[in-house]
Structure 1
Amino acid sequence: MFVRIVKMSFQPEKIEEFLANFNAKKEFIRKSPSCRLLELYRDKTNSDIFFTYSYWETEQDLENYRNSDLFKGVWAQTKILFNDKPLAWSVDKITSLI
């Protein structure tokens, strides 16, 4: 399982716009081929910071999504709301206990 973690920091006055866009698109993102999980988190100490976690079957599946019209549209609407450069990590899930 391939996991993508993205940290995003938003202009405080733009957070509601981000959340509205995310909520409008989240089902489409989750239904992308080979996307197995999509989660959004908000930092407990800095409410301007959010994280997305998405699980993909392979790294190529994520790349296919990143080259899709869906991603290009979502990213274009999201990146203009940032107050800092986003950070992203690509990791392989080793263990999961539920």
Structure 2
Amino acid sequence: MIVFRITMHVLPEKQKELVQTFLSMIEPMEKETGCLSYALFCDMADQNRLDLFEEWQTRKDLDQYLRSDMFGVLLGTKSLLSEPHAIHIYTIHQSEGMDAVYTARGK
């Protein structure tokens, strides 16, 4: 699995516009090949910091998305930001669930 994270520092007067842009992308993202999830989070300490998290089945699926017009729309939001997008791609080879928590807690 691939996790794609974009951190954005939004100009305060542009936050609503940026959020509306991302909300309009939910349905099309659900149809993207290999997209497992798409979520936007607001930092509780700084309401003008938003993090977009996407999970992708494979790197090939993510790369196809990065070449798409939809991703171009996302990059086009740079005029709404106080600094450039910070983009991080994480490759996950293993994930664990609640059993790992129980093990760590000695239960």
TM-score by length of 2: 0.82
Q: Percent identity?
A: 25
How many Å separate the matches in 1 of 2:74 and 2:28?
10
Greater shift, 62-71 or 10-19, is seen at: 62-71
Mapped partners of 2:12, 2:83: distance in 1: 12
CA drift at 1:96 = 4.1
Structure 1 runs of 4+ aligned residues shifted over 6 Å read: none
More displaced 10-residue stretch of structure 1: 83-92 or 11-20: 83-92
Q: Give the Cα–Cα distance (whole angstroms) in 2 for the partners of residues 85 and 32 of structure 1.
A: 25
Shift of 1:4: 0.6
For the aligned residue pairs, the C-alpha RMSD in angstroms reads 1.4
Q: Which residue of 2 aligns with 1:69?
A: 69
- CA separation in 2, counterparts of 1:39 and 1:97? 20
Structure 1 residue runs without a partner (length 5+): none
Unaligned runs of 5+ in 2: 99-107
> Which one has the largest radius of gyration?
2
Alignment match, 2:15: 15
Could you tell me how far 1:14 is from its partner in structure 2?
0.1
What count of residue pairs does the alignment treat as equivalent? Answer: 97
